[in-house]
Structure 1
Amino acid sequence: MRAKRSNPVRLVLRRGVDCFVALLLAMTVVPSSAAAADADFTQFISSLWPEAAKAGVSRAVFARETGGLEPDYKLPDLLLPGRPKTGAPSQAEFVQVPADYLREASIARLASHGRTLMQQHAATLRAIEQRFGVPGPIILAIWGRETDFGRHRLPYDAVRVLATQAYVGRRKEQYRGELIAALQLLQSGVVTRKDLRASWGGAVGLTQFLPSEVTKHGVDFDGDGRVDLWHSVPDALASAAQQLVNKGWQRGVRWAYEVRAPGNADCTQGVPEVTKPIGQWLQEGFVPARGLRLSAAEQAQSASLLQPEGIYGPSFLTTQNYFVIKEYNFSDLYVLFVGHLADRMAGGASFETPWSASHQLRTISVEAMQRRLTELRLYSDKIDGKAGMKTRAALGAYQKRAGIKVDCWPSEEVLRAMRAGR
């Protein structure tokens, strides 16, 4: 019996059908896992209801603001199961060298506009300084740094950001509370969901407060019966001043003084724990920039040494108010930006000592340094890949021990020495 010949047309059609079925199966597999993930997120959001109710959020507001909410897995700094870490925070404060972050063109542009705003809001700024003791240029500089004086539209829906961070962020408990605080703001009617825009970290308003901070530090300075950090410049600026005061701002004290360090300065002293009267620093050879003469009261103030690029670039003697601003944003570069911008708006000049063109090590390399310094018991702070004051001082201590140049700056040369076991 002769075998039946295959019909080539039927074979092609059959293969096409098989491919189409396979494609359909593949399409159903991927969404099912995504749907499962979203179902877990929805369940997580639902689990927050008792906590929200205890905070005074109504069922109607909770349902309205969280209904259909989806996570945003594209945000930085998330811990996603089964996926690589999204990396350290992409804030410029932690990934740029000072010369880039404190770019003269940016400072000059903001200072120019800031001087116009100083005139426009002169009465408000005088009233704020009289009440809180915080100079107008300081709070204007915060506004300028945070949202470009309100000209920068924040890119994210705050509720979605806070919910995502509470679900898979690195600080879940903190953001859980911030999400509840955001729902409280929406229920109060002080802000609409449309206007409740945020940074990727969940900060809102002209001067960038976390939702809970609005309640803690918010001030109704324009007297309209509500704290409006989204549309009221007086409220936003007064609230920023109130936050600084609540964190320890001292009336009549500068944020810092730029100085020239002597050649024998020990950069390992550049930590908050090492404080001396400014007059003592001057006796040790530190010279105020541009011939500035400090009064007896100023010289009696306690200050710490700050050298953001180790022995390279400018040096500063930082007062308590420096660290108060740092409570607003925990970055030396942020505080330098705000303080220097405030000085420029008040008529000051650019930094006397230029920033060096230093290379910024990758976060993973700085983390490796911090781990090694911890092993050597020279460092006991966070392993976060950020070369802050304590990391730089610990590096200087290591350099002394290893018999290499002491500059308190994380470099490839120091990293190689550590890896070589020196």
Structure 2
Amino acid sequence: MRRIKLVNAFNRILLGLSIVALISGSSAARAADAAFTQFITSLLWPEAQAAGVSRATFDAQTRGLEPDYKLPDLILPGRPATGAPSQAEFVQVPADYLKEASIARLAEEGQRLMAKYRDALSGIEARFGVPGTVVLAIWGRETDFGRYTLPYDGLRVLATQAYVGRRKDQYRNEFILALKMIGDGEVTRKDLLSSWAGATGLTQFLPSEFYQHAVDFDGDGRKDIWHSVPDALASAAEQLVNKGWQPGVRWAYEVQAPASADCTSGVPEVTKPIGEWLREGFVPVRGQKLSAAEQAQPASLLQPEGIYGPAFLTTKNYFVIKEYNFSDLYVLFVGHLSDRMLSPQPFATPWSASTQLRTADVEAMQRQLTRLGLYKDKLDGKAGMLTRAALGAYQKSKGLKVDCWPSETVLRSMNAAR
């Protein structure tokens, strides 16, 4: 308890120095940097030492290290609170995120890469049970098959997030593991480029994910997710396996929903064998015939645009991919891209011309739904599965059209009720 109080007091001192720096000029800025340096050397060194980081590595990598206050998702005194950047997965409507031109371009490139890395992909599927097209699609989505260069100094990002980020405890651990990666010879500081959130490599792993899932698949003695495509793709497959991937099971089936379908049942908790969904009137698109084994698979209903646009029966593997990035649109992109590498067919049902309300409006809806006892998840302004189902329940209760979509009509109804 005494140690916790001392740490909290020390953090308050550091925060005070930061406040001075943000309000005053260059001399105060130097004071803030001194506070940051003190935070790294006094608080994080013992934890790094306990994790096996040598003093030489720690000193070499933290010498001259400065925080980057331009990063998003920080809590900075004297500045308005800012959240994470508006990731396309969470603020775009499906028609914009799942653009046919983008999917087609990546699918064509993916087919070329399937041929180039045929042996590695066959080996990955044999060893992990994850189709090569799925890990290729993750690579395509994460870094455009390596064409996108991650823009940040990963160590600086992790140190800043550990110092003034919204998830300090998580990033303290990630920062220390990044130092360990460098000290262990897994990566050089120059190659440790990252996203604003500290994910690194061709398939974007946090340091903790590297130590949990990275694989040396090409047999050169290194787990090189930065330069070795086989290592990066095998590591993505290992992460999916560790999260529960089931070999031989598709990620989802596109279906036509019957007019009687209840969109409020589109939540992970409502799971039935696919055959039962079919008996209720859901029809696989393009006359696809499902085997008895496929019909026995449990699945949940997904309607990303409520009653508009395509509908899907999602298997366990859908939710495994979702743990890579917690977004329905991300999984749809990866799953559909993996399919498109084998077949040129787009979604059978086109996406509608739906519009997306502002994040603040969706969050206001979530607050109202929470007050009404219809919603019990995060207030994040994102129209995910649980939010859409709760909106449908609200529409039922108010005699509105039940479409499970955050529209201006529903917003006006909630505002009037308040």
Partner SS for 2:346 = coil
Q: Does 1:268 align with 2:264?
A: yes
Equivalent position of 1:130 in the other structure: 126
Equivalent position of 1:115 in the other structure: 111
The alpha carbon displacement at 1:39 in A equals 2.4
Equivalent position of 2:280 in the other structure: 284
2: CA distance, partners of 1:139 / 1:51: 34
Equivalent position of 2:18 in the other structure: none
Equivalent position of 1:43 in the other structure: 38
Deviation string, structure 1 residues 312-356 (Cα, Å, up to 9, x no partner): 111100000000000111110000000000000012410011111
Residue 103 (structure 1) aligned to one of 99, 102, 106 = 99
Residue 162 (structure 1) aligned to one of 158, 164, 175 = 158
Residue 395 (structure 2) aligned to one of 381, 399, 403 = 399
Q: Does 1:171 align with 2:163?
A: no
2: CA distance, partners of 1:35 / 1:311: 56
After superposing the two structures, state which structure 1 stretch, 103-112 or 86-95, moved more. 86-95
1: CA distance, partners of 2:94 / 2:28: 44
Letter in structure 1 aligned against 2:39: F
Deviation string, structure 1 residues 54-109 (Cα, Å, up to 9, x no partner): 00001111111111111111112222122112234322111211111111111000
Letter in structure 1 aligned against 2:380: D
2: CA distance, partners of 1:287 / 1:348: 21
Equivalent position of 2:336 in the other structure: 340
Letter in structure 2 aligned against 1:227: K
Once the two structures are superposed, the pairs formed by residues 162-311 of structure 1 within 5 Å of their partners are: 162-311=158-307
After superposing the two structures, state which structure 1 stretch, 359-368 or 294-303, moved more. 359-368
For the 8 Å contact 1:76–1:90, the answer to whether it is kept is no
Compared with structure 1, are the counterparts of its residues 279 and 41 closer, same or farther at alpha carbon in structure 2 (3 Å cutoff)? same
> Percent of aligned pairs with the same residue?
76
After superposing the two structures, state which structure 1 stretch, 44-53 or 86-95, moved more. 86-95
Q: Does 1:323 align with 2:322?
A: no
- Number of residue equivalences: 395
The alpha carbon displacement at 1:403 in A equals 1.0
For the 8 Å contact 1:259–1:315, the answer to whether it is kept is yes
The alpha carbon displacement at 1:412 in A equals 1.6
2: CA distance, partners of 1:29 / 1:81: 12
Deviation string, structure 1 residues 179-213 (Cα, Å, up to 9, x no partner): 11110110011211111100111111011111111
TM-score (norm 1): 0.92
Residue 385 (structure 1) aligned to one of 381, 387, 409 = 381
After superposing the two structures, state which structure 1 stretch, 397-406 or 75-84, moved more. 75-84
2: CA distance, partners of 1:35 / 1:417: 52
2: CA distance, partners of 1:138 / 1:173: 32
Residue 372 (structure 1) aligned to one of 357, 368, 378 = 368
2: CA distance, partners of 1:166 / 1:286: 48
1: CA distance, partners of 2:247 / 2:297: 13
2: CA distance, partners of 1:262 / 1:93: 27
Equivalent position of 2:13 in the other structure: none
Partner SS for 2:300 = strand
1: CA distance, partners of 2:86 / 2:188: 28
1: CA distance, partners of 2:406 / 2:181: 43
2: CA distance, partners of 1:118 / 1:307: 31
The alpha carbon displacement at 1:38 in A equals 2.2
Equivalent position of 2:405 in the other structure: 409
For the 8 Å contact 1:220–1:227, the answer to whether it is kept is yes
Partner SS for 1:48 = helix
Residue 72 (structure 2) aligned to one of 65, 69, 76 = 76
Structure 2: gaps spanning 5 or more residues: 1-22
The alpha carbon displacement at 1:168 in A equals 1.5
The alpha carbon displacement at 1:40 in A equals 2.2
Equivalent position of 1:89 in the other structure: 85
For the 8 Å contact 1:260–1:289, the answer to whether it is kept is yes
2: CA distance, partners of 1:415 / 1:29: 43
Equivalent position of 2:12 in the other structure: none
1: CA distance, partners of 2:355 / 2:29: 41
Residue 33 (structure 1) aligned to one of 28, 33, 40 = 28
Structure 1: gaps spanning 5 or more residues: 1-27
Partner SS for 2:90 = helix
Partner SS for 2:402 = coil
The alpha carbon displacement at 1:29 in A equals 4.3
2: CA distance, partners of 1:289 / 1:76: 42
The alpha carbon displacement at 1:261 in A equals 0.7
Cα RMSD after superposing both structures: 1.2
Deviation string, structure 1 residues 8-34 (Cα, Å, up to 9, x no partner): xxxxxxxxxxxxxxxxxxxx9422332
Letter in structure 1 aligned against 2:294: E
After superposing the two structures, state which structure 1 stretch, 335-344 or 159-168, moved more. 159-168
